[in-house]
Structure 1
């Protein structure tokens, strides 16, 4: 999936956006949707609560670890490249077997506990917890609760993590393990980003059934039409409703070599029209919608009722 490239200082300037095929209109649309923040004339940045992991990863690589300590939790997640939903990266996280109680200071959080040899890896010269141990630790301690747990576990499965190993961590009596276990029960590596995971978490918590993720849709002639994020079917397996989370990537997801973003967005609109021509209801939402309590579940529920699925 193509993504928007920020400058080395973490900002996106209008001239650089234009070089990537993004017009001022598209940038304004991204600001309205809460995907970018305008920090100055012609200068944009991701919202402060998104994409902070690169800077944190550099801090992890630069720090001096206490003897025997292993980088863990959210800090290890940045080393593994695991997606997290609005993580708190204000502190560097370590786990040490030599600490009975651990401590939390302004820039460092030391967690007490053992890390088995099978649960430790070395990444860029830094000893850290394995992807399975890391994902489960983040899941059980995420400030975002069930949604945060689902996001990191979805991402871990997408990266090839072993579900059974994460389930084994769920059998250990530790803080937050119940939430993490429940999230793991719903985790699916087909989810492509934290926004899709957050969407699913909201639907699950509001009692809305989810049928499938990322299913290819074809027309009556067998021609590919789309691969929506979510779909709901009738008793005969016919798709009646699809759901699409429009994150920042959707602005450039459909770019082909040599075309601008306007062309890609026109093709995306045509794609939606083709789905509607098949009698499929298309429901869309953004980060801003997800930040408004119950907006997405209510929107989906109305369309499922309209289709006779609820």
Structure 2
């Protein structure tokens, strides 16, 4: 389709500001944007919001949500973003799979969907409004309470991340929990297991599945001497020290630890494997009796995870 200078300028300005372009219903540029949506040159992830399709396709799911949120914050300055939307603004780690195109805001008038099908309203009698990076959001404690509606294994990553960032304490959430109507059982379970020592969302997610299968609680980020660089000890994701002297280490390796071909400066696959071999040798020389590597595919499949943990000798407590 022939270039429209007004559309191009609007889209490029929005891209520089890391948001979607905002259309004005009825004007010429809006109609030009709608024609380009039909021609698959532009996407409209939310009513009256637009982005160049190539630009949009290069964004991950979280960034897409943030682009919509930034636009809506500009267009509706009185809105307060809540739930997963607020967690995104705060930068709390979570699974991309949670993003379904919806946006959540706090509402004193009732819960449910808004005029746009993507808009979810979360009822709050009193909205604890904050500003983070210029965007109105619910307080960290209220955000965590609302995120308890997310499945436990995914919500735990958000709780761990908020604690790790120092935005909130367990006591903050407990205090608010008894003051408002919420799913106290879900929040209490998350607070019981939340731990800022887990370094990323993958570790939180893996831990949730480990205890979900009834295995014993591990310790986190246990340190072992590094003979090659003594000032940088090895830290392992999960460690079980058993009464009979066995020491079992679990490492969450994600989906593509050794297969990332996108970075031109990456170490060679062989160098990575050699490093892991030296690291594992050093761990075993310090009493570690088993090292099990847990990949995304293992954790996602409960039978595979169960087999790996059982095979490594991790004790089951229920």
Relative to the length of structure 2, the TM-score reads 0.68
Q: Does the aligned pair in 1 maintain the 2:145–2:182 contact within 8 Å?
A: no
Task: Tell me the residue number matched to 1:137.
Answer: 146
Task: Tell me the residue number matched to 1:235.
Answer: 243
Distance 1:83 1:89, change over 3 A: farther
Task: Tell me the residue number matched to 1:128.
Answer: 137
Question: 3-state DSSP class of the match of 1:180?
Answer: helix
Task: Tell me the residue number matched to 2:157.
Answer: 151
CA offset at residue 303 of structure 1?
1.6
Q: Does the aligned pair in 2 maintain the 1:53–1:89 contact within 8 Å?
A: no
Partner Cα separation in structure 2 for residue 308 and residue 279 of structure 1? 21
Task: Single out whichever of 101-110 and 82-91 deviates more from structure 2.
Answer: 101-110
Task: Tell me the residue number matched to 2:295.
Answer: 286
Q: Does the aligned pair in 2 maintain the 1:83–1:193 contact within 8 Å?
A: yes
Task: Tell me the residue number matched to 2:310.
Answer: 301
List gaps (5 residues or longer) in structure 1. Answer: 1-7, 9-47
- Cα RMSD of the aligned pairs, angstroms, is 3.4
Task: Single out whichever of 50-59 and 159-168 deviates more from structure 2.
Answer: 50-59
1:196-215 Cα shifts (integer Å, max 9, x gaps) = 11111111122111231011
Query: Does structure 1 residue 90 correspond to structure 2 residue 106?
Result: no
Q: Does the aligned pair in 1 maintain the 2:214–2:317 contact within 8 Å?
A: no
Question: 3-state DSSP class of the match of 1:122?
Answer: strand
Task: Tell me the residue number matched to 1:53.
Answer: 62
CA offset at residue 151 of structure 1?
1.3
CA offset at residue 111 of structure 1?
1.5
List gaps (5 residues or longer) in structure 2. Answer: 1-15, 17-56
Question: 3-state DSSP class of the match of 1:214?
Answer: strand
- 1:8-47, aligned counterparts within 5 Å? none
Task: Tell me the residue number matched to 1:271.
Answer: 279
Q: Does the aligned pair in 1 maintain the 2:226–2:234 contact within 8 Å?
A: no
Partner Cα separation in structure 2 for residue 308 and residue 131 of structure 1? 35
Q: 1:217 aligns with which of 202, 220, 224?
A: 224
Q: Does the aligned pair in 2 maintain the 1:252–1:261 contact within 8 Å?
A: no
Q: Does the aligned pair in 2 maintain the 1:234–1:240 contact within 8 Å?
A: yes
